[in-house]
Amino acid sequence: MEARMPAQVIPTIENFNDFVEKMTKLGFRVISGTEFKREARRLELRAPRPVEGRETGLSYYANRILVVVWTTWMAEGQTIKKKDSGWVVVKQDYDKKPVYIDGPFHRTENFLLTLYQNAWLAHFRATNRPLCSKCRQFLRIRRGKYFKSRFWSCGCINYHDDKKPFHLDWDYGLPERAKIFLRRKRKTSAKWLEKIRELGREPYSAIKKRKPWVVGRPENLP
């Protein structure tokens, strides 16, 4: 059995502009070149690999959760990077490292739609970040038993009458249409993982190999 990647489909400039417009309506904003350069100087950022040019990213911040969407789109060339994938990266409470990375999203048919749908999920979770019912503090995103599983949790047991942590399911509060989308996504993912394991390959290798930018001045991090 061979796990083949579907053919690449390159979005047009019209496709990408429509995507950005929809993301902007959600509350995302395009990360400007000036902003990126300023941040790069402040932190002395160094790319982990040769960079083709500046990739278009969009960010959204709510309730101390930062969502960054990387699109592989090159503003200068008005097309996608030669080799890359889309990603949705989530950080919380000023943590230096992402707590959740969704992807890779390959540039195949419906790439921008898939990227938007998964960005919407991260946006919804940030906007509707739940509170602990015991101490009314924001719940934090925690890693679950499996590689990409997550759940909401509060470990502030000193502020809980019963001195026990409080947890909620990762899908807590999502509308039904989002849950249907996730059920389909997880079913497809499970089939793909089964194929990968049958071939003796390592699951989630793209995420595990994904190297962050090197921070030369970590003291300037929030």
Could you report the per-residue pLDDT of 97-113, keeping only the tens digit for each?
899 999 999 999 899 99
Question: Is 78 domain-assigned?
Answer: yes
- pLDDT score recorded for residue 82: 80
φ and ψ at residue 212, rounded to 5 degrees = -75, 165
Question: Is 196 domain-assigned?
Answer: yes
Residue 60 has pLDDT above 90, yes or no: yes
- pLDDT score recorded for residue 51: 64
Question: Is 147 domain-assigned?
Answer: no
- CA nearest 61: which of 31, 87, 40, 35? 31
Question: Is 136 domain-assigned?
Answer: no
Q: ∠ CA 152-153-158 to the nearest 5 degrees?
A: 160
- pLDDT score recorded for residue 1: 43
Work out how many domains the chain is built from and give that number: 1
**Interatomic CA distance for residues 207 and 209, integer angstroms:** 5
- pLDDT score recorded for residue 215: 67
Question: Is 140 domain-assigned?
Answer: no
pTM: 0.85
Residue 2 has pLDDT above 60, yes or no: no
What's the pLDDT band for 81 if we cut at 50, 70, 90? confident
Question: Is 3 domain-assigned?
Answer: no
Q: What is the pLDDT of residues 14-53, one digit of tens each?
A: 999 999 999 999 999 999 877 777 776 776 666 666 666 6
In terms of residue numbers, what domain contains 81?
13-128+173-220
Question: Is 165 domain-assigned?
Answer: no
Question: Is 95 domain-assigned?
Answer: yes
